[in-house]
Structure 1
Amino acid sequence: MIELFYRIIKKILIIFHKILNFGLYKNGVILYGIPKLINRKNINLDHNVRINGNVFIHGDGGVHIGENTTLSYGATIISTGYDVRSWDKNKINKNHKSKSINIGKNVWICANATILPGVNISDEIVVAAGSLVNSDLLESGYIYGGIPAKKLRKFYKG
């Protein structure tokens, strides 16, 4: 009975979240939890994007997520970070450097995967659970995984 109560409360919270962020979710985005979104104006979600619970998207550098893409529980997309090449100059100010992230169509970002600034992910790619993506994933039809993410195997014949 208590579990049913929690599920009802969660659904109500998701509905309120979608109402308050209508501009972001106008393309038929499907929410299975409430994501944490920073700098929403730089986040662009295409049609039929599915977002599960505990997803974090930091949009400072700009984030575009293509249609039919799924972000599983705990996925993290960060479009800003420290510029370590000029660390000596930034020790005190801690200046951030932002770069855009582009995720293609029909992509599945599995649980607890992290996407770092400046990454481009092509269409029809699976990023395995717990992976760290710090460079472009350009070959469609493959599963990428590990730290850092590398091509593991082909999953799609097309």
Structure 2
Amino acid sequence: MILLKIYWRTKAAIKKLCFKIMFGKRFSVGKNTTFRKNFGLYLEKGASIKIGHDCFFNRGCSVNCLESVEIGNHTIFGENVKIYDQNHKFRDRTKLIREQGYSTGRIKIGNNCWICTNAVILKGVEIGDNSVIGAGCVIHHDIPANSVVKSNGGITIESLD
């Protein structure tokens, strides 16, 4: 297990260096933050990402940023967590969805949070310190500090009209 940890940390250090070279001052990451296999990062021109100290991103996590994403210290992410600070615009029926652009909103995730497997964090959300976001949850509004969020598995369907 020790050899695997050395391998993952070395690979993460190389990945952090590559991100720093590609994105410059728009990407900052704290000490001892590490990423596992298939961590993805997309940073649009003019956007910024700040990741604190001692964070951990498990396999398959991705951060997609057109505006701003900030992650506090000691926050951990389960497998396949997705973070999007943007959403496609889609209400104009005279245009294709892909031609309507994006709406954006800053994301801030506090210190000492646990974002569980397959959670999705959407634009404009602030998650308070010491919070747990349960597996499979889709977070589209603010979560106060010291909260546990669970999914009830339900869906809602609405008409575009």
State TM-score, norm by structure 2. 0.75
Structure 1 moving runs of 4+ over 6 Å: 5-9
Aligned-pair RMSD on alpha carbons? 2.9
Quote the residue 2:79 is aligned against. Answer: 73
Identity %: 22
Amino acid paired to 1:118: G
Quote the residue 1:111 is aligned against. Answer: 117
Q: Check if 1:31 corresponds to 2:42.
A: no
Matches within 5 A, 1:88-127: 88=93, 90-91=95-96, 93-127=99-133
Unpaired segments ≥5 residues, structure 1: 150-158
Matches within 5 A, 1:1-158: 12-22=10-20, 24=27, 26-34=29-37, 35-39=39-43, 42-84=48-90, 86-88=91-93, 90-91=95-96, 93-138=99-144, 140-146=145-151
Amino acid paired to 2:19: N
SS at match of 1:17: helix
Quote the residue 1:154 is aligned against. Answer: none
Contact kept, 8 Å, 2:88 with 2:103, in 1: the verdict is: yes
Corresponding pairs, count: 145
State TM-score, norm by structure 1. 0.76
Contact kept, 8 Å, 1:134 with 1:148, in 2: the verdict is: no
Contact kept, 8 Å, 1:61 with 1:117, in 2: the verdict is: no
Task: Return closer, same or farther for 1:120/1:88 CA change in 2, 3 Å cut-off.
Answer: same
Quote the residue 1:156 is aligned against. Answer: none
Contact kept, 8 Å, 1:80 with 1:99, in 2: the verdict is: yes
Task: Return closer, same or farther for 1:26/1:64 CA change in 2, 3 Å cut-off.
Answer: closer
Shift in Å, 1:29: 4.1
Contact kept, 8 Å, 1:132 with 1:148, in 2: the verdict is: no
